[in-house]
């Protein structure tokens, strides 16, 4: 293994910055270069769909490290700079400006790019939300009191709808699934989320696809659904998921498939590791492969990947987390440990869903695979240890 004197981090968000911090804490004193496509210093993404979009936070509140703290990491920080190619044999990263960065160790943390509809994105008023610039551009639209249609009712789309409705805007939420968050937490909890949005005045169009965005004078005017329903719209937010940002690695020889395919130690190739939304690795809990789009995973995996990069294959440790995620919508904080698959049995074990304060366990074949808390952070912590435990097969779905 070559001497570890030069490390390059591609990606300047939570995973990349956490990796840089971990490398320094582990004693790495060599050259550390971080490449980020955006011009902003590393910032946190979860507030974009909530506090930033609502106007209660300005961009500076999202910054993950103050300038002095970044300085202590002694980074060669290349912002507004895009990586365009990787040669693992030569151990070089090529940048859009033609510069080549040699490395002894490389950590990939390029994150995601939003999916787009196959139509309509050429119209003014049609937005995606991934970056701070996206959030600020969308926020600027709110002042005119627009009619808003959010396409996609996963975590991001549901949060955007809640934020817009909290500002008093007319909001419709569309998704082909039967309930918001159905793919993320199943239809039972998804039904409670649907009730939450209805209670706040959001018009739900669940089980419906989008066939067309209509426009006039270059600006969006309506969203047309697959049952012929026409939803008038001044602003449309497309939140139909994301794809790993790996296109620049197409000719690298790395194994790509729903992200950068790694081993259980986050290793994608000799001297190359991946972390965060872009990493795809073997999941010991299911026996399959997993890629997690969760804020806590970005930092936890970045620390593990950084340690393993320095340790090399002989001294690294497998990465086997219990996932943790959350979403904030209106006055509801929904948190979960583990996994909450749609086909799991769901049982309320603490509190009462009718009061919107409860904990539910998710079971597959009698084994607890996840725990979810709705406004029950303290109670939820007590059930984290149940994950992975084989329990009674006959657990019934709670109907609240």
Domains 116-240 and 331-386 share a fold: no
Buried b (16+ CB within 10 A) or exposed e, 356-370: bebbbbbbeeebbbb
| % of the chain beyond a pLDDT of 90 | 92
| Mean pLDDT of the region 235-244 | 98
Report whether 166 contacts 192 (CB < 8 A).
Answer: no
CATH number for 331-386 (one of 1.10.3720.10, 3.40.50.720, 3.30.390.30, 3.40.50.970): it is 3.30.390.30
Q: What is the pLDDT of residue 391?
A: 63
Q: What is the pLDDT of residue 315?
A: 79
What residue spans define the domains of the chain?
A: 6-113+243-311, 116-240, 331-386
Average pLDDT, the chain: 95
Q: Considering only CA atoms, which of 359, 334, 21, 26 is closest in space to residue 180?
A: 334
CA distance 272 to 251: 15
Interior CA angle at 332 toward 340 and 385, to 5°? 40
Q: What is the pLDDT of residue 400?
A: 41
393: its two tokens: 């097969």
Q: Considering only CA atoms, which of 128, 168, 123, 178 is closest in space to residue 147?
A: 168
| Mean pLDDT of the region 267-292 | 94
Residues in contact with 359: Cβ distance below 8 Å, sequence separation at least 6, in sequence order: 348, 349, 350, 351, 371, 372, 373, 374, 376, 379, 380, 383
Residue 204 has pLDDT above 50, yes or no: yes
Q: Name the CATH superfamily, with its identifier, for domain 6-113+243-311.
A: FAD/NAD(P)-binding domain (3.50.50.60)
Q: What is the pLDDT of residue 221?
A: 98
Q: Could you tell me which residues are beta bridge partners of residue 173?
A: 150, 204
Residue 396 has pLDDT above 50, yes or no: no
| From 112-116, 301-305, 375-379, 386-390, the region with the lowest mean pLDDT | 386-390
Q: What is the pLDDT of residues 206-226, one digit of tens each?
A: 999 999 999 999 999 999 999
Q: What is the pLDDT of residues 126-178, one digit of tens each?
A: 999 999 999 999 999 998 999 999 999 999 999 999 999 999 999 999 999 99
- Computed on alpha carbons and rounded to an integer, the radius of gyration of the chain in Å comes to 22
Q: What is the pLDDT of residues 3-57, one digit of tens each?
A: 899 999 999 999 999 999 999 999 999 999 999 999 999 999 999 999 999 999 9
Reported residue count of the chain is: 400
Residue 192 has pLDDT above 50, yes or no: yes
Cα 378 from chain centre: 24
Q: What is the pLDDT of residue 393?
A: 43
CA distance 298 to 314: 24
Q: What is the pLDDT of residue 398?
A: 44
Q: Name the CATH superfamily, with its identifier, for domain 116-240.
A: FAD/NAD(P)-binding domain (3.50.50.60)
Instruction: Supply φ then ψ for residue 152, to 5 degrees.
Output: 115, 120
Residue 251, CA atoms < 13 Å, CB-side half-sphere: 7
Residue 372 has pLDDT above 50, yes or no: yes
Q: What is the pLDDT of residue 152?
A: 98
């Amino acid at each position: 293994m070559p001497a570890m004197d030069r490390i390059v981090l591609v990606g300047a968000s939570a995973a990349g910055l956490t990796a840089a911090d971990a490398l320094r804490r582990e004693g790495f004193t060599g050259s550390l270069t971080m490449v980020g496509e955006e011009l902003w210093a590393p910032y946190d993404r979860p507030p974009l769909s909530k506090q930033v979009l609502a106007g209660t936070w300005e961009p500076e509140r999202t910054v993950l490290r103050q300038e002095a703290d970044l300085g202590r990491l002694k980074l060669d920080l290349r912002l507004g700079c895009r990586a365009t190619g990787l040669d693992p044999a030569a151990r070089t990263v090529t940048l859009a400006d033609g510069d080549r960065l040699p490395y002894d160790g490389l950590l990939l943390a390029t994150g995601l790019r939003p999916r787009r509809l196959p139509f309509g994105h050429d119209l003014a008023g049609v937005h995606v939300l991934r970056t701070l610039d996206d959030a600020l551009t969308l926020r600027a639209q709110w002042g005119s009191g627009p009619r808003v249609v959010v396409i996609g009712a996963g975590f991001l789309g549901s949060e955007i709808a809640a934020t817009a409705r909290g500002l008093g805007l007319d909001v419709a939420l569309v998704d082909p699934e039967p309930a918001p968050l159905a793919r993320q937490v199943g239809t039972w909890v998804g039904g409670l989320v649907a009730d939450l949005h209805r209670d706040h005045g959001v018009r739900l169009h669940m089980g419906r696809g989008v066939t067309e965005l209509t426009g006039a004078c270059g600006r969006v005017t309506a969203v047309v659904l697959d049952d012929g329903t026409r939803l008038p719209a001044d602003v449309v937010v497309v939140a139909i998921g994301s794809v790993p940002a790996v296109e620049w690695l197409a000719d690298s020889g790395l194994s790509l498939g729903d992200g950068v395919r790694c081993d259980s130690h986050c290793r994608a190739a000799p001297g190359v590791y991946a972390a965060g939304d872009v990493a795809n690795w073997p999941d010991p809990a299911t026996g399959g492969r997993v890629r997690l789009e969760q804020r806590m995973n970005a930092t936890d995996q970045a620390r593990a990947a950084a340690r393993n990069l320095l340790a090399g294959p002989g001294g690294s440790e497998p990465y086997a987390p219990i996932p943790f995620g959350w979403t904030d919508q209106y006055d509801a904080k929904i948190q979960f440990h583990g996994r909450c698959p749609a086909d799991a049995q769901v049982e309320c074990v603490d509190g009462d869903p009718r009061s919107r304060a409860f904990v539910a366990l998710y079971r597959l074949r009698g084994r607890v695979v996840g725990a979810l808390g709705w406004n029950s952070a303290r109670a939820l912590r007590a059930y984290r240890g149940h994950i992975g435990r084989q329990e009674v097969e006959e657990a019934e779905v709670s109907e609240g």
